[in-house]
Amino acid sequence: MTTREYFKGKTVVITGASSGIGKALAYEFAACGANIVMGARHEDKLVEIAEDLKKRGASVAYCVTDVTVEDDCRKLIVTAVGNFGGIDILICNAGISMRAIFDDVELSVLHRLMNVNFWGTVYCTKYALPYIQASHGSIVGVSSVAGLHGLPGRTGYSASKYAMTGFLDTIRIENRKKNVHVMVACPGFTATNVRFSALTADGSEQGATPRKEEKMMTPEKVAHIIAKGIMHHKRLLLMEFEGRATHFIKKFSPRFLDMMFYKVMAREPNSPFK
């Protein structure tokens, strides 16, 4: 079965859909004939993407959504059901990152990371779950390698992604007799604006990325891999060597992995630690 055959006519809700991986997911599923429901904070970008997708023949709806606001998440789900009658796939993609050591970071930064990355997933899942159960559909959390092993300089990011993983793993177990598929997707470093908007110690955006764009995955490639993972009902989706190696090495030599992560992150330009 092709992805187009599998997703045609299904309703897909995507958070963080105005840019990066979320935007790429909207185009990926639209190309497969799915109904697209987008949530993000920036209405102008949502309108632009929706109009372009409609020109391509896609069925699209959107709802301005700040995933840290519970009622916004409820309205996103209501929008999906109101326009398409139900939900087949929920992709919790909205997220922010950070770059600062815990010694220096203001605790408000960690609160923001948890509110977006963890609570945004919880809110959307809470309101979408009855419809996902009815359709025997899928819930996807876009996590990170930082959700598999602690990433130095990213305490709040790792914590929020670990929390997302624990939450979704438990949702999977609770719904094992209801035919609900739950997948945690872990892209490696991806060329998106999330890196530019990563929060520094005082909560301001770093505005530049310390990593080379040409060595990163593209959002389009990530979106295509996620679609394949949903179709094949993957539980944990590791997309490149770094993620697979992290998952493997942690089982047998976590101390070695600690050392390697420290060395890699310390080599970044203007690294917060050496």
Residues recognised as catalytic: 157
Neighbour tally for 146: CB within 10 Å: 22
The pair of structure tokens assigned to 244 is 């697979």
70 burial type by CB count under 10 A (0-12 exposed, 13-18 middle, 19+ buried) = middle
Q: Which DSSP string corresponds to 89-118?
A: EEEE-----B-B-TTT--HHHHHHHIIIII
The dihedrals phi and psi of 63, each to the nearest 5 degrees, come to -145, 125
Q: Under 8 Å CB-to-CB from 51, ≥6 apart: which residues?
A: none
198 burial type by CB count under 10 A (0-12 exposed, 13-18 middle, 19+ buried) = buried
Distance CA 35, CA 8 (A): 8
Distance CA 210, CA 124 (A): 32
Neighbour tally for 84: CB within 10 Å: 21
The pair of structure tokens assigned to 241 is 């060597």
